[in-house]
Amino acid sequence: MAATSTDFISEIWRKGIFENKVVFCTGGSGDICSAQVMAIVHLGANACIVGRNKDKAERVANEIATTRPGSRVLAVGNVDVRKIKDLEDAATTCVRELGSIDFVIAGAAGNFLAPFLQLSTNAFRAVVEIDLMGAWNTAKLTVPYLLKSVSKNKGSSRLSGRIIFISSTNQYTGTQLVTHGAVAKSGIDTLSAQLAIELGPRGLTSNVIAPGPISGTEGTRRLVDTGKGDDRSKRIPLGRYGSLKDMGNAVIYLFSEAGDYVTGSVLVVDGAAWRTGGGAVGGGFEYPETVLSDKPFSATVVQPKI
């Protein structure tokens, strides 16, 4: 990543606000989640990032650790979020090595472009299992640790017991080519709301961050940009794609004291793109021609990928 702090965080945040806290993040090797973890680590936390690819997770963890001298960033690779045992072992490792889990980011995801008529049952199931069941598994295995964090910090610090799910905006209006992803993300939004209701009395907060297209990320390259050379950011009211700094600021807000009374909410960070269709996933393909064609659909990526 080799980024300076101003690439992933605004200067308004006070250093040390997350001192001695631990964040556990699935999908932590990805562009958005790694930037979010980097922002939290920069402000004092230690971290455990969980990923499917062990080598990539370790490389990204080392990059994140450079943001603050003395930080501890643990990588747990070879984790499939669809497998409860993998996540159980990852959470246990995190607590054994770093002492606690105070914050959780559930960010593991898979998506690709495909018309409904060419979307197989197995492919639909794969995305739902990675996105929705992965989010459920992450919450199920980490909530007990979050409750311990709340109990331990009761009366001394409210910066504990917080979970954030990374969702999308596709499901708000619907869009072509991502039935599987939109259905899964709708479930994640509802899951987060249910946790807010049921776990709020125990001191936990649960929220969703719904990014729009974020510049320079794999997801935007694969699912939004189609190589046609058109500047689709012009359809976004704020006139640009989002940045990794936008993602870092959003997660800091919800984990910091500023987010104390925010739970059961969806924080859309997309420059109002979802209201105009600007930068929509699959939006670069002609509609309705794409979904009316019986020819095999061809896009940059046609397989689910964590």
Active site residues: 167, 185
Contact 102, 162 (CB under 8 A): yes
CA 210 to chain centre: 8
Question: Could you write out the DSSP letters of every residue in 222-262?
Answer: HHT--SS---GGGGSTTSS-B-HHHHHHHHHHHHSGGGTT-
Which one-letter amino acid corresponds to residue 173? T
What percent helix, strand, coil does the chain show, rounded to 5?
45, 10, 45
Give the span between the Cα atoms of 154 and 243, in whole angstroms.
35
Give the span between the Cα atoms of 101 and 208, in whole angstroms.
19
Which residues have CB under 8 Å from 162's CB, separation 6+? 102, 103, 104, 146, 204, 205, 206, 207, 254, 255, 259
Name the token pair of 291.
């979904």
Say whether 23 sits in a helix, a strand or coil.
strand
Name the token pair of 37.
């973890």
C-alpha distance from residue 143 to each of 93, 138, 140, 198, 252 (Å)? 15, 8, 6, 12, 20
Give the span between the Cα atoms of 185 and 168, in whole angstroms.
6
Give the span between the Cα atoms of 180 and 120, in whole angstroms.
10
